[in-house]
Structure 1
Amino acid sequence: MSRSSIAIVAAAAALALPAVAQAAPLTPLAIFGDAAPPMKLLILALAAATVAAVVVCALKLASGPKLTGGSAFLSGLRLGGPLAGLLGASYTSLMIFIGLSNVAGPVPMKVIAPGVAEALFILGLGVLAGSVAVIANWAVEARIDRMVLKA
């Protein structure tokens, strides 16, 4: 093979590589896998708190006339879930901006997108935990009111 044909083949291969090497789609599991250890802990805590709110609500509603336990957890999660999500999102955003400030030159959006997705994922989990807690607390408080007022 001549030098010119080798150069043409190499140029064609270099042009074809970006089309061949596509990144895998970003999923919640991939976001969790790429997260920093404190953010992984926060993601797990928010997911567990959401499940716990549903369990506490179900147990509280199924307990019959017994009115004790669970209301303080639901009340705390109503405000604590979104605040924890906001704290995690702000930490992740801070790490994104620190990383951007340490890079010379422009950074493509494909590099920034996973970090932004992680921040929004954590914020969304916090809002989800808070929303579930609000609904569960409403149901429990309505049950308590019915039991106390015998309505």
Structure 2
Amino acid sequence: MNVDIALPIDVDIASIHTLTRQWGYSATADQTRVWVQELTESNKHEMFIAKIGTNVAGWLVVEQRIFLASQNKAEIVALVVGEQFRLKGVGQSLVSAAEKWSLDKGLTCIVVRSNINRQESHKFYPNVGFTLVKTSHNYEKTLTEGGSKKL
């Protein structure tokens, strides 16, 4: 199956939005449009789409990360492949595009984080050359105007 990698254009937004919802996120079509625009305008990010024929089969976002404690790295911050296109080389093609972008930026390491619930990704990433180096807990805090109160 021939997988073509490209940068997203306006006509791809609806398909990107559909895949985002299939991935389990509830972004609106308008939010998706704004986020894709912000990503494509950033010099620290790149978004790639994979097409099979005229279908958007998947998408990936890679980010240049700045670290104080180690070398700067690339990080795959999102990767989704449509259910009907899995195990057809789409994910691997997207990762290869991210690797090339990273090398072009002078980055020699690429990392990815994967939710413990995404079992299929824990098989995929080692198959395309990644090594599990650690597990961690992620914490999140909703910020509101006025900030946090000190205890």
Instruction: Name the TM tier (shorter chain).
Output: under 0.3
Q: Taking CA–CA contacts closer than 8 Å with sequence separation of 6 or more, which of the two structures ends up with the larger relative contact order?
A: 1
Higher relative helix content: 1
Higher relative strand content: 2
Give the structure-2-normalised TM-score. Answer: 0.25
Based on CA coordinates, which of the two structures has the bigger radius of gyration? 1
